[in-house]
Amino acid sequence: MPYDPSAFPPFAVTVDLVVLTVRRHSLCALAVRRGEPPFQGRWALPGGFVRDDEDLAQAAARELAEETGLCVHDPAVPAQDNGAHLEQLATYGDPGRDPRMRVVSVAHLALAPDLPAPRAGGDASNARWAPVEELLEQAGYGREGEPPAPLAFDHTQILADGVERARSKIEYSSLATAFCPPEFTVGELRRVYEAVWGVALDPRNFHRKVTGTPGFLVPTGGTTTRQGGRPAQLFRAGGATLLNPPMLRPEV
């Protein structure tokens, strides 16, 4: 049976983004307000259709730039700064996940340092950083005075999967540095782990672990006192991407 367009059903393919950052000691995700049905007025993950001539990673990078202005960090250019980490997360394709038509969404996970205010088409009221616990709660929350509502479509599930991916991946990779500015202290990195995992870590053991793992951190020579207290050494992310042995998440 040769190529026959009628032999398969047509799908729309989108990319949705779980964009995570750490703000004020808590893990936050980017949410945008839907301006059109279905789920008009509800919060959702940013995303959009994949264009005819781009691959999935390009589509995700484009959407990320449109929503946040972030460039994607290219692993081939390790000196590049301020780039976000972007990776494919999973694909969601239940019939009926979009009431309009059959849509398959290839979700991506992006990790970014703390950013200035988000923008969605320049309209700040239609985009926000929200703590993930807030977005994941069954009831959901709106902004001040808005009715609580969960995220549109199956985006609560996608967000949960993205958060779990981030939580487990910083255990055995140096990915947590993607949440940090180009130069950072051990304490700032520890606060990233604490925010992502929602636990408190011992500063002394954490310091020993991260400075003792070859290739994880590279001292830049500078120091900073922006956190108060004794000045701390500044580091850049080293070349190592896999931590062996891993940094173990404390039990329960």
- 104 binding partner (options DNA, a copy of itself, none; Cβ < 5 to 8 Å by kind): a copy of itself
What sign does the dihedral 111-18-87-210 (CA atoms) show?
positive
198 binds DNA (CB under 7 A): no
**C-alpha closest to that of 211 among 180, 233, 183:** 233
10 binds a copy of itself (CB under 8 A): yes
Angle at 51 (CA atoms; ends 45, 54), nearest 5 degrees? 105
208 binds DNA (CB under 7 A): yes
Q: Please report which helix (H) or strand (E) contains residue 249, including its range.
A: none
- 232 binding partner (options a copy of itself, DNA, none; Cβ < 5 to 8 Å by kind): DNA
101 binds a copy of itself (CB under 8 A): yes
DSSP annotation string for 46-101: -EEEPPTT--HHHHHHHHHHHHH-PPBPPTT-TT--SPBEEEEEEEE--TTSSSSS
CA distance 245 to 207: 15
250 binds DNA (CB under 7 A): yes
Kindly state the tokens that stand for 67. Answer: 């929503």
Reported residue count of the chain is: 252
In the complex with DNA, the residue whose CB is nearer, 34 or 249, is: 249
The most distant pair of C-alpha atoms in the chain lies apart, rounded to whole Å, by: 73
In the complex with DNA, the residue whose CB is nearer, 24 or 204, is: 204
Q: Which of 81, 215, 227, 239 binds DNA (CB under 7 A)?
A: 227
- 209 binding partner (options DNA, a copy of itself, none; Cβ < 5 to 8 Å by kind): DNA
Q: Bridge partners of 202?
A: none
Choose the binding region for a copy of itself from 43-51, 76-84, 145-153, 184-192 (rule: CB under 8 A): 43-51
Interface residues for DNA in 158-187 (CB under 7 A)? 185-187
Q: Which of 26, 126, 157, 211 binds DNA (CB under 7 A)?
A: 211
**CB within 8 A of 228, min separation 6: which ones?**
none
Instruction: Say whether 104 sits in a helix, a strand or coil.
Output: strand
Choose the binding region for DNA from 57-65, 90-98, 127-135, 226-234 (rule: CB under 7 A): 226-234
144 binds a copy of itself (CB under 8 A): no
203 binds DNA (CB under 7 A): yes
**What is the size of the binding site for a copy of itself (CB under 8 A)?**
38
Cβ atoms 67, 17 nearer than 8 A: yes
Residues that bind DNA (CB under 7 A): 185-188, 190, 202-205, 207-209, 211-212, 225, 227-233, 245, 247-248, 250
Residues that bind a copy of itself (CB under 8 A): 1-3, 5, 7-14, 36-37, 49-56, 88, 90-95, 100-102, 104, 106, 244-245, 248, 251
